[in-house]
């Protein structure tokens, strides 16, 4: 079928939907829902058999849904209606939640139901972003495939929404207001965690910190210390520890309530107001664990962004891990594996270009530790999405294992950067020079299946993130105990020696940084505007060129069977 995906942004869920539909053999085009007129015009041009809206913040115009079957993927169980579904689900501590595919009609979220999925909610309040990118996205992608299959069945008729049905347990909920997101530090830690996480990563919980109105994000339970509620009790790795009514919470990120302010690590945003707070233990973005044969460096950076300081800490942790007597090193990312350099910290710096330069050099040092490790075999554990330099960082390992729901974006072009992280070495050696060129120039997402087919990854594993991490660890343990381990390690050393003689890593680094210096200091490809647009959430004025070309790419690649994954 010809399917049009209408979306507010080409986010991870929309990318997964696009990949899933193309694998199923459909001709899929993308349009950003910039206005009612743009949506109607997109449908007139695409002439789709079906319109699917996997992530849409705006109402579908009647001129579109009256002319084309249009299905909305709503992040709530049958009967749930309203724009703040996930916020309320977390805030109200729902035990079960779901995702529903429903047909667009005049009344929002009230159309006939094409299908639904339900799932158990975590016992501890999840971050809204983690809920959305995890079980919600998994359920939504399943529903997208189901909707496409049902649309091809002439006998299928969606079920009208009927609140008398036992399956319809949701209800209409109003949009969450600013007042719903406000909290006092005198409340319990549990209440604060739930309120902030229901608003993470947008728009954040609302409070006052150090006498300033702020939006609060990225919170974790702290130690049970006594002190005046709202007082900063300590700091560590960019986070600040704040007293609550019955303990403390670590606050990872805040945004000042002032025009032009952006979300930043809390200690950076609060500046001199928290500079005198003592260093406290109990919070760390990076950990190291080991068994007899396997060492694991785990890092979990908010939204996958890696600042200069974070990169320096991670490089230090890797140096420590490499010096241990383990046989396999696992490099494990978090909810998002990595998206490369930290654009918000760069944009907020006194000299953004200089900070960008320091950041790219710091992340290169991380990549150098991974690529240059010849005393152990290295396994990259990619359980969350990755983009730009984050993908290239993982490709430096001997074995790359991805979770089957992961989306990789191995390119820099949309940010106006040439890229570094030794990508001109690690990417072509895995996929070949021609495919490396296409991946970086076409700027399209790659799913886990395609990643394995292309050679970007060695293995894709299913399961929840915890299941995935357990299976990667078991894989690493088998690798460490493999009778042929010495031969495998000797092979790694030999390859690295041969490659180094042919062209040293320093040469790749120098060539990449020569291009990056022109991008960062001379702004030869629009990095400054692209960065500011991303950081300040500037709404796109048109569907980007690389998205507008998806239809031609789909047709050029004859999307049927296994060929559907080759672009």
- Does the pLDDT of residue 557 top 60, yes or no? no
Are 489 and 376 contacting, i.e. CB atoms less than 8 angstroms apart?
yes
Q: Specify whether the CB–CB gap between 237 and 252 falls below 8 A.
A: no
pLDDT of residue 357: 98
Query: Which pLDDT belongs to residue 548?
Result: 64
User: In the beta sheet, which residues pair with residue 289?
Assistant: 296
Sign of CA dihedral 2, 434, 422, 382: positive
CB 335 within 8 A of CB 368: no
Average pLDDT, the chain: 94
Does pLDDT of 29 surpass 70?
A: yes
pLDDT of residue 541: 78
Residue 519 is encoded by which pair of tokens? 């991008």
DSSP per-residue string spanning 219-277: EEE-------TT-EEEEETTEEEEE-SSSEEEEEEEEESSTT---EEHHHHHGGGSTTS
Please name the helix (run of DSSP H) or strand (run of DSSP E) that holds residue 215, with its range, or none: strand 212-221
Q: With bands split at pLDDT 50, 70 and 90, how would you rate the model's confidence at 546?
A: confident
Read off φ and ψ for residue 424, nearest 5 degrees. Answer: -70, -10
Q: What is the per-residue pLDDT for 539?
A: 84
What tokens were used for 113?
């139901």
pLDDT on residue 549:
59
Give 221-261 pLDDT, tens digit per residue.
999 999 999 999 999 999 999 999 999 999 999 999 999 99
Q: Which two tokens stand for residue 142?
A: 């399943």
* pLDDT number for residue 542: 78
Q: What percentage of the chain carries pLDDT values higher than 90?
A: 94
What is the dihedral sign for C-alpha 234, 235, 236, 241?
positive
Residue 562: per-residue pLDDT: 28
Share of the chain above pLDDT 70, in %: 96
Coil, helix or strand for 295?
A: strand
Confidence of residue 550 (pLDDT cuts 50, 70, 90): low
* pLDDT at 554 exceeding the cut of 70: no
Q: Are 341 and 360 in contact (CB under 8 A)?
A: yes
Instruction: Quote the Cα angle for 315-285-96, to 5°.
Output: 140
Going by C-alpha positions, the residue among 433, 390, 395, 434 that lies closest to residue 412 is 390
- The yes-or-no verdict on residue 566 having pLDDT over 70 is no
**Per-residue model confidence as pLDDT tens digits over 477-535:** 999 999 999 999 999 999 999 999 999 999 999 999 999 999 999 999 999 999 999 99
Q: Is the pLDDT of residue 552 over 60?
A: no
- Given this model, what pLDDT does residue 235 score? 97
Residues 43-71: tens digit of each pLDDT: 999 999 999 999 999 999 999 999 999 99
Instruction: Report angle CA 154, 158, 160 to the nearest 5 degrees.
Output: 150
State yes or no: pLDDT of 207 exceeds 60: yes
Dist CA 42 CA 434 (whole Å) = 32
Write the CB contacts of 506 (distance below 8 Å, at least 6 apart in sequence): none
CA 93-94-98 angle, to 5 degrees, is: 140
- Cα gap 239→208, rounded to integer Å: 16
Q: Which helix (H) or strand (E) holds 399?
A: strand 399-403
Residue 556 confidence class, pLDDT cut points 50, 70, 90: very low
Write out the H or E segment, with its range, that includes residue 516: helix 505-521
Task: Provide the 3-class DSSP secondary structure of residue 135.
Answer: helix
Q: Is the pLDDT of residue 412 over 50?
A: yes
Compute the average pLDDT of residues 328-350: 98
Give the mean model confidence (pLDDT) for residues 84-92: 97
DSSP 203: T
Q: Which two tokens stand for residue 263?
A: 């979300």
Question: Which residue, among 360, 251, 378, has the nearest Cα to 311 in the 3D structure?
Answer: 360
Mean pLDDT of 84-90: 97
Q: Residue 553, exposed/middle/buried by CB under 10 A (0-12, 13-18, 19+)?
A: middle
Tell which residue, 224, 232, 222, has the closest CA to residue 284.
222
pLDDT tier at 567 (50, 70, 90 boundaries)? very low
Predicted local confidence at residue 238, as pLDDT: 97
Reported as a single tens digit per residue, the pLDDT across 426-485 is: 999 999 999 999 999 999 999 999 999 999 999 999 999 999 999 999 999 999 999 999
Residue 359 has pLDDT above 50, yes or no: yes
**Other Cβ atoms closer than 10 A to 117:** 19
């Amino acid at each position: 079928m010809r399917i049009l995906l209408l979306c507010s942004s080409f986010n991870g869920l929309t990318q997964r939907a696009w990949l899933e539909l193309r694998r199923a053999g459909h001709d899929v085009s993308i349009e950003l829902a910039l206005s009612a007129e743009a949506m109607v015009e997109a449908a007139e041009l695409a002439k789709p058999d079906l319109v699917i809206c996997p992530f849409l913040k705006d109402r579908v115009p009647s001129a579109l849904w009256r002319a084309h079957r249009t299905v909305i993927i709503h992040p709530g169980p049958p009967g749930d209606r309203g724009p703040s579904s996930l916020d309320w689900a977390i805030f109200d501590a729902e035990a079960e939640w779901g995702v529903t595919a429903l047909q667009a009609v005049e009344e929002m979220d009230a159309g006939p139901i094409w299908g639904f999925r339900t799932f158990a909610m975590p016992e501890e309040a999840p971050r809204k972003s983690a809920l959305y990118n995890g079980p919600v996205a998994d359920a939504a992608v399943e529903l997208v495939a189901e909707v496409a299959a049902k649309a091809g069945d002439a006998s299928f008729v969606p079920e009208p929404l009927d609140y008398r049905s036992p399956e319809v347990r949701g209800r209409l909920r109003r949009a969450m207001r600013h007042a719903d997101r406000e909290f006092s530090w005198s409340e319990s830690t549990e209440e604060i965690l739930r309120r902030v996480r229901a608003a993470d990563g947008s728009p954040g919980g609302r409070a006052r910190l150090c006498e300033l109105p702020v939006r609060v994000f990225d919170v974790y339970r702290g130690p049970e210390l006594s002190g005046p509620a709202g007082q900063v009790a300590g700091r560590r790795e960019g986070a600040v520890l704040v007293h609550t009514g019955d303990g403390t919470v670590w606050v990872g990120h805040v945004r000042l309530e002032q025009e032009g302010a952006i979300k930043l690590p809390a200690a950076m945003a609060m500046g001199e107001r928290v500079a005198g707070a003592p260093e406290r233990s109990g919070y760390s973005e990076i950990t190291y664990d080991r068994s007899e044969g396997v060492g694991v460096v785990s890092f979990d950076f908010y939204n996958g962004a890696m600042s200069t300081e974070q990169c320096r800490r991670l490089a230090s942790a890797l140096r420590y891990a490499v010096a241990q007597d383990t046989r396999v090193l696992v490099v494990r990312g978090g909810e998002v594996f990595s998206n490369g350099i930290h654009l918000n910290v760069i944009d907020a710096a006194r000299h953004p270009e200089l900070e960008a330069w320091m950041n790219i050099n710091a992340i290169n040092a991380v990549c150098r530790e991974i690529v240059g490790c010849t005393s152990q075999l290295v396994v990259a554990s990619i359980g969350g999405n990755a983009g730009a330099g984050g993908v290239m960082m993982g490709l430096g390992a001997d074995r790359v294992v991805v979770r089957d729901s992961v989306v990789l974006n191995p390119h820099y072009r949309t940010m106006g950067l040439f890229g570094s992280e030794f990508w001109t070495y690690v990417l072509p050696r895995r996929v070949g020079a021609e495919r490396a060129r296409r991946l970086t120039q076409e700027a399209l997402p790659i799913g886990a299946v395609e990643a394995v087919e292309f050679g970007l990854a060695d293995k894709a594993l299913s399961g929840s993130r915890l299941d995935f991490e357990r299976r990667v660890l078991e894989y690493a343990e088998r690798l460490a105990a493999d009778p042929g381990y010495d031969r495998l390690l000797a092979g790694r050393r030999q390859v690295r020696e041969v490659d180094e003689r042919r062209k040293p890593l320093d040469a790749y680094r120098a060539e990449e940084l020569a291009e990056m210096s022109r991008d960062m200091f001379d702004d030869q490809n629009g990095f400054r505007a692209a960065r500011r647009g991303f950081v300040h959430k500037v709404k796109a004025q048109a569907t980007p060129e690389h998205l507008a070309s998806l239809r031609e790419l789909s047709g050029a690649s004859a999307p049927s069977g296994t060929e559907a994954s080759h672009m």
